Amino acid sequence: MAIEVNEPALSYARDLIRRGKVVRDQRDWSEVAPTTQQENEVIERDGWSEYARWHLGVDPSENPETKKAYSFPFGDFSEVHRSGVIAGESRAGQYHHTEVEAAFKSLLELIDEG
């Protein structure tokens, strides 16, 4: 499993942050992360490309129309969550996905600048 930075998702997250679409919450990401039902609704309503752009990790060896292809979510399908970015950075570091970790760090810096 070779997780890479999902570049379109990174660009999308940066754009959302610059437009102020950020929740600077103090809540734990596990409390506010989308549920499986919410994920399925997004896929059904908006398709796989919408689901993909909310995940900073992608495994190109997986079928792009499966959840298994995407990892490291950072928002709730409408806004970036600072807690999601922090959780993603931590988890990416834990699993030695250094490029994904660095991408999350850059998003956190962008959030904290604003």
pLDDT surpasses 90 at 114? no
Distance CA 51, CA 96 (A): 24
- Domain boundaries in the chain? 4-113
What proportion of the chain, given as a percentage, has pLDDT over 70?
A: 99
Tens digits of residue pLDDT in 2-57:
899 999 999 999 999 999 999 997 789 999 999 999 999 999 999 999 999 999 99
The mean of the pLDDT values for the chain is 96
pLDDT band at 60 (very low <50, low <70, confident <90, very high): very high
Contact (Cβ atoms closer than 8 angstroms) between residue 74 and residue 33: no
pLDDT surpasses 70 at 1? no
